Each structure stands twice: as structure tokens, then as C-alpha cells.
Amino acid sequence: MKKILFVYLPTISLWYRESFPPKGAKYFLKEKEEISQIKNLINFDYQDLRLKKLEFKDYTHIFVYCDFLSDFSTIISTIELIKEKGDKRKIFFFGPLITYYFYYQPSLFENLQEKDVSLIVGFLPNIIKEVLEKEKNIYIALSLPNYLPVPAKISLIIGCHCLPIFKPFCKNFLYFRDNIKIRPIKEIISELVNQPEKTITIDDEDITSNLDYYTDFFSFARRFRKHWLVKASYKIFESPQFVRLLAKAGVKIIYLNETWLTLEDMLTKEVNKLIKEKRKEVKTIQKEKILVGAKLSFVLENKEINFKELCNIFKKIDFDFLEAKFFIKENQDFRLENITYQPFLKETSPAVLKREFYSLKNIIYRLSKRPRRVGFYNTFFYALPLNLAYRQNFLEGIPYPP
């Protein structure tokens, strides 16, 4: 009889330690979406190594989920740890990081193959039945967008809408390549009826990618009186009517993606003009009682940048949340760099952005102005807890959320 365990694997520095609280804000210590989706298909036990030590018991199949918060050395250490407890268990590694290795770092993928474990490339729910029925070293799932319900989250259009340079680090692109799936609105509404949670995250990468479709959805969904967290590109500023609809439908936070503000913009454009333009855009959203987050991606090359000065630009633009990813570009090498907190930081260190943005001084400064712009409810139930959660994650050395 198969007894299955799913494990979430962060980097070793984030593993749970006896007599210490878990690292990271409780708000972000949630079960990973891809693991939650598998619950629709099979029964299994789940262990999050951020929350408890790995317990082996009598499991016959161990599935280890690796996202970009893990790394190669942690994977190797985990393989050795599991094999120390017995060789009869079947070990499977899956997740965005494994798929990334397959497409972009084949040497690391081949090194994992030599460890006598099974590797799953692509979206696990697309191939889970084959994995459990056939023994193979490599499983490659079809690149067809798929969706299974998860608590407090919903997807409407599944697929990648990232800028080309960032696609290798996008989960949707790694799993589904350029394929897009548009779900019928009736199907989504029937799922929404069974969502007991008040606050729901829409996992789509850009709610302006198909404006007519999302307009139809939010026009209907407003009657459910849910609170929504969504992501959008710069195109959202081309349709003020759509922003007003989002406000009426109950959207509480709009995260603007990397198309809205780039490092090149901040380094090449006239600063005062840039601040005036972006601040005006932020205010058009906040005046509808919606908070604004910025999901920014910075490509760092061989030049020094004063990140404290960039943070002063952010302060004047006056958005509410910052999620910053940093990429290193050296010759042909392009990689995601996990930037974490250090006690003493130079102004040229990328971590200064998050240190300054989530300092208590700047958090208090932002929150003092928010009740007038977005109301007391949104300030105290969304802006305050999220700012403190981002601050806690940064101070505890967690690069994600960015």
C-alpha cells in the first residue's frame, strides 16, 4: 500500500529548529499552491520544513517540492538525509526549480539524476497518475495549462505574461511555456460559491491582459462581496473605468508588475518628471480606496547603484508595498539572486531597498497618510499587517516574498 508524503523544501537556513519559532511572518507561512492542488487528486501527508522537522515514519513515496527559495546544495543534503533512513523509499523532486534546471542548467539536472532519485519536469498534477503507476528516472509533464481549486486563491487566465528576460524564472512559463488557458467565467463563479474565505487572491499575472474578460468577471463577482488581491501591468492606467469597477467589486490591493517601473527608468529618466508621473498613477488607484504594491525586477550589471537614492524615489511615488527581485547579469550568465538582510549594508547593496522601505520610520510615515486615501479599514486590516509581515521576513533573512 502506498503511503505518500509531500515535503516543502526551503533552503537549509530556513528549516525549523527545536525551541525556536518558525522563521518568517505567519501571513506568508502558507501551504504551497501546487501541493494544495494535488489534494484534489490523491491523499497524502504534508510537512513544511519551515514549520517542523522532517519525520519519515513509514512513507513509501516522498515528494519534495523545490521552488526558487531552495537551492542545489539543500537538495543534495536532503537526498542524503532521506537515504540515511532507508533505501526502500521512492524519492521524487518536483517544482519550478527542478524544471528550471532541466531547461537552463542541464549540468545540475544531470547531477541530480546521478543521485538515484526521480525528477519531475513540469506541472505535477498533469502527470501524477503516471508517476504513481510507472517507475522512471525522469517524468516530463505536458505543457498544458491546468487548474485545480485551492483555498483562498483562484485563477482565471493561466499562463505567462512576463517580460521575455524574466520568463525563465516564471513558474507559469516553466510549466506551460507560451500556452494560455482562459477558464469559462461560469466555471469560476461556481467555484467561488464554495470559497468560504473573505479575502481571495487572483493568481493571474496580469488582469489587463484581456480587459473584456476581466470586466465581465468583476461585473458579476461584485455581488459576492469578496475582497480581492490582484496583479496588473502598466496598462491598467489606460482604463480608469476598469479601476473604478475593481473598487466596486471589492479589490483591496493591486500589485503592479515589472512593466510599470524599471531600473532603467529610474537611472535614465529625469527624476522629478518620473516621480510626478508615477505618483499620479499611484494616486489614481489609491483614490478608489485600493492599496498599491509594486512587484519590481532589477537587472544588476557591473556598475554601482546607490539604492538608498532609489528608495527616496519610492518614498515620493508613495506606493504601499514593495516586492523586489534581483537578477545578476554577467556575460552570458543571467541568474536570480536571493538578496537577504545583513547588519551593516552599504548604500550600493540591493538589500538597502527593502531595509529602507520597510524601516519602522517609513512604515509609520506611509500608514499615517493612508486612512485619508484608502480608509481606516484598508489601512488597519491590509496595509498595516502586510507591511509588518514584509518587514519581519526581510529582517529574518528570507528573500521571499521578495
The answer, yes or no, to whether the previous bond of 401 is cis (omega within 30 of 0) is yes
249-304 pLDDT tens trace: 999 999 999 999 999 899 889 999 999 999 999 999 999 999 999 999 999 887 78
The strand pairing partners of 62, in sequence order, are 5, 91
Mean pLDDT of 392-400: 92
Ordered DSSP codes for 81-96: HHHHT-S-SEEEEESH
92-143 pLDDT tens trace: 999 999 999 999 999 999 999 999 899 999 999 999 999 999 999 999 999 9
Instruction: Give Cα 205 distance to the centre of its chain.
Output: 10
Can you tell me the distance from the alpha carbon of 130 to that of 126, in angstroms, rounded to the nearest whole number? 9
- Residue 393 pLDDT greater than 90, yes or no: yes
Can you tell me the distance from the alpha carbon of 103 to that of 87, in angstroms, rounded to the nearest whole number? 29
148-159 pLDDT tens trace: 999 999 999 999
Can you tell me the distance from the alpha carbon of 79 to that of 66, in angstroms, rounded to the nearest whole number? 13
pLDDT of the residue at 194: 87
At residue 87 the predicted structure's pLDDT band, cuts being 50, 70 and 90, is: low
Give the chain's domains with CATH numbers: 4-140 (3.40.50), 153-395 (3.80.30)
53-62 pLDDT tens trace: 999 888 999 9
Name the CA radius of gyration of the chain, rounded.
22
21-43 pLDDT tens trace: 999 999 999 999 999 999 999 99
Say which amino acid occupies 203: D
Q: Around 388, how many Cα atoms within 13 Å sit in the side-chain half-sphere? A: 11
- Residue 175 pLDDT greater than 90, yes or no: yes
Nearest 5°: the CA angle 361, 336, 111 is: 140
Whose cell is 520597510? That residue is 358
pTM for the model stands at: 0.95
Three-state DSSP class for residue 144:
coil
E strands in 238-279? 251-256
pLDDT of the residue at 304: 85
* Residues in Cβ contact with 175 at an 8 Å cutoff, skipping those fewer than 6 apart: 96, 99, 122, 123, 141, 143, 145
At residue 85 the predicted structure's pLDDT band, cuts being 50, 70 and 90, is: confident
Taking all residues of the chain, what is their mean pLDDT, rounded to a whole number?
94
Helices (H) and strands (E) in the chain, counts: 16, 15
Can you tell me the distance from the alpha carbon of 165 to that of 74, in angstroms, rounded to the nearest whole number? 27
Least reliable range by pLDDT among 223-232, 326-335, 362-371: 326-335
Residue 264 main-chain phi, psi, to 5 deg: -60, -40
CA distances from 294 to 72, 101, 230, 259, 324 (A): 29, 28, 12, 10, 8
Q: N- to C-terminal Cα distance for the chain?
A: 41
Residue 256 main-chain phi, psi, to 5 deg: -85, 135
Q: Classify the C-alpha dihedral 231-364-367-265 as positive or negative.
A: negative
Query: Is there a contact between 191 and 149 (Cβ–Cβ < 8 Å)?
Result: yes
Residues shown for the chain: 402
Q: Which cell numbers in the block locate residue 386?
A: 502586510
Residue 8 main-chain phi, psi, to 5 deg: -95, 125
182-226 pLDDT tens trace: 999 999 999 998 899 999 999 999 999 999 999 999 999 999 999
Instruction: Give Cα 188 distance to the centre of its chain.
Output: 22
* Residues in Cβ contact with 72 at an 8 Å cutoff, skipping those fewer than 6 apart: 101, 108, 111
Share of the chain above pLDDT 70, in %: 99
Can you tell me the distance from the alpha carbon of 233 to that of 260, in angstroms, rounded to the nearest whole number? 6
Mean pLDDT of 151-179: 95
